Chain A
Amino acid sequence: MKAINGKQPSTGKPTMGKYSIFSLIRNALSFHEGWERAWRSPKPKPAYDAIIVGGGGHGLATAYYLAKEHGLTNIAVLEKGWIGGGNTGRNTTIIRSNYLWDESAAIYEKALQLYEGLSQELNFNIMLSQRGVMNLAHNLHDMRELQRRVNANRLNGIDSEILDTQQVKDMVPILNCSPKSRYPILGASLQRRGGVARHDAVAWGYARGADAMGVDIIQQCEVTGIRREGGKVTGVETTRGFIAAPKVGIVTAGHTSVMAEMAGIRLPINSYPLQAMVSEPVKPIHHCVVMSNAVHVYVSQSDKGELVLGAGIDGYHGYSQRGSLHVIEGQLGALCELFPIFSRLRLMRQWGGIVDTCPDASPIISKTPIEGLYINGGWGTGGFKATPGSGWTFAYTIARDEPHALNAPFTIERFTTGALIDEHGAAAVAH
């Protein structure tokens, strides 16, 4: 870790000050040179009560709720790079809970409700903007699927409504709603409580909150092996030596299979590159999130003014964090079809993240055949929106060695019993 402003990072006890208007004024008086680091950089201890492998949003949320809800504070989060540098910092920041099946609706809605109070709870602005998420329908089948999903959402107490073409046009006037377009817009579903949040801030807020309760966040510490004895976990081998723990939670997104292989566990997961990109920044023009499954793109505008774009995964397995050009061409074509006004915008950045997809497009938050080893992965293309709910249920599972009712359906065993939670149709874009 480099020193900031000439000060060495603290490695001692957490000393988190509260962020407020007063701390802002106080620090302004000293030209903002007195801000403390938001979390420590401790050296790993030889042993912990539990270790979380993976310092993304899900892992940090898990650590935060382990400390807050279950009183487990002698724990560590191990991250091979820097926190939030993987998929947490690479997604398109969309949050919604309008999933078709009861099991998914329950866990994503739990996540959304936690998001709604998260800035206050963490004393860290995650910039949650509930600007509405709109899913477009371009044919009769799309329309019926959306109506089915809206009805299912409402039965689960989740806000969701159907818009006709005129209502879509009134809300987003720059959408091409002409009946002459190649894929005319027949209507849409809208979840008004859906929206976007600052993805980095979610990771940083959870890190700061967990650190304040005594959790050790250890960056640049790669796990290279999982030590077991008699079917039980005893700790992890890392690039900074062996660290003992009776409980280990794997939360490594695209690398879930790689970690599971270290413990000899086979998973139904395939990892693919998923690309995202932003345009050059422009004045506010697009105030909600629009997704189209059939034309295949989703777009929102960030607070900096960039259009944030994404679509489907690349067509082959990969860990390269980059993808093919034709995938970008496809989604930009879709964007210009839906929003002709964007056709002269230029792209500013493009990147890839590695998504771990399950055959039923639902995650695994589960115990494993190895005692003390837990896996949270398989979130595929839609993990960011679930971050708080994922961490909350995974913390429960690790602390009590049994799943909470919310994640009980998301076991590894469901691929043997056949009780799959098929969310392919309910996803915003095709997987």
Chain B
Amino acid sequence: MFVIHCPYCGEREETEFHQGGEAHIERPKDPDKLTDEEWADYLFMRKNSKGLFLERWVHRHGCRRWFNVARDTHTNEILAVYEMGKEPPRAVAQKIAAKVKK
């Protein structure tokens, strides 16, 4: 059972929330120009990271607002919670950059 810190309501139990999959997937700006491969990538292809993962959650049985979570999918440690439309906090971004470099 997770305890998740909703940026609007504070700490609540996992049962109040619903996970909405990978975060920061942008809807194509010009959908008419997309190839089938680009559509497939947008619709279906996912990072599914083991370790640090940026994901969306919604406080379904609370304020009903969406937000982003940076979580380690191996240990379930929640590293950061940040608002929709924002970039991940610097510490998390550095971890991602370090992983890419490696």
Against A, the Cβ 8 Å flags (1 = close, 0 = not) of B21-52 are: 10000000000000011011101111111100
Q: Is A255 an interface residue (CB 8 A)?
A: yes
- Bound CA–CA A268/B53 (angstroms): 16
- Nearest CB in chain A: distance from B34 CB, A: 12
Known: A255-B50, A267-B45, A315-B18. A326 touches B40 (CB 8 A): no
Q: Is A415 an interface residue (CB 8 A)?
A: yes
Q: Is B94 an interface residue (CB 8 A)?
A: no
Stretch among A133-141, A317-325, A380-388, A421-429 lining the B interface: A317-325
- Nearest CB in chain A: distance from B13 CB, A: 8
Q: Is A316 an interface residue (CB 8 A)?
A: yes
Which of A257, A269, A317, A324 has the most C-beta atoms of chain B within 10 angstroms of its own C-beta?
A: A317
- Bound CA–CA A316/B69 (angstroms): 12
| A window 243-258: CB within 8 A of B | 255, 257-258
- Bound CA–CA A326/B16 (angstroms): 11
Point out the residues of chain B lying under 8 angstroms from A400, CB to CB.
none
B1 A324 Cβ-Cβ under 8 A:
yes
Q: Is B55 an interface residue (CB 8 A)?
A: yes
Point out the residues of chain B lying under 8 angstroms from A315, CB to CB.
14, 18-19
B48 A317 Cβ-Cβ under 8 A:
yes
Known: A315-B18, A325-B1, A416-B37. A268 touches B73 (CB 8 A): no
Q: Is A266 an interface residue (CB 8 A)?
A: yes
* CB-based nearest B residue for A267: B45
Point out the residues of chain A lying under 8 angstroms from B37, CB to CB.
416
Q: Is A407 an interface residue (CB 8 A)?
A: no
B74 A320 Cβ-Cβ under 8 A:
yes
Known: A324-B2, A416-B37. A319 touches B74 (CB 8 A): yes
- Bound CA–CA A268/B44 (angstroms): 5
B55 A317 Cβ-Cβ under 8 A:
yes
- Bound CA–CA A359/B71 (angstroms): 22
- Bound CA–CA A159/B50 (angstroms): 41
Q: Is A270 an interface residue (CB 8 A)?
A: yes
Partner of A319, one of B2, B18, B45, B50: B50
- Bound CA–CA A416/B35 (angstroms): 9
Known: A267-B45, A269-B48. A416 touches B76 (CB 8 A): no
Known: A268-B46, A271-B48, A359-B44. A324 touches B14 (CB 8 A): yes
Point out the residues of chain A lying under 8 angstroms from B15, CB to CB.
326
Point out the residues of chain A lying under 8 angstroms from B75, CB to CB.
320
- Bound CA–CA A270/B15 (angstroms): 21
* CB-based nearest A residue for B37: A416
- Bound CA–CA A418/B37 (angstroms): 11
B45 A266 Cβ-Cβ under 8 A:
yes
Point out the residues of chain A lying under 8 angstroms from B14, CB to CB.
315, 324, 326
Q: Is A417 an interface residue (CB 8 A)?
A: yes
Extra contacts besides A257-B50, A270-B48, A326-B14 (12): CB < 8 Å? A257-B49, A258-B48, A258-B50, A266-B41, A268-B46, A269-B46, A269-B48, A271-B73, A315-B18, A316-B2, A316-B19, A416-B36
Can you list 27 residue pairs at the A/B interface with Cβ under 8 Å? A255-B50, A257-B47, A266-B41, A267-B46, A268-B40, A268-B45, A269-B46, A270-B46, A315-B14, A316-B19, A316-B55, A317-B21, A317-B48, A317-B55, A318-B74, A319-B50, A319-B73, A319-B74, A320-B73, A320-B75, A324-B14, A415-B40, A415-B43, A416-B36, A416-B37, A416-B39, A417-B36
The 7 closest A-B pairs by CB, nearest first: A268-B44, A257-B48, A316-B19, A266-B45, A416-B40, A415-B44, A319-B50
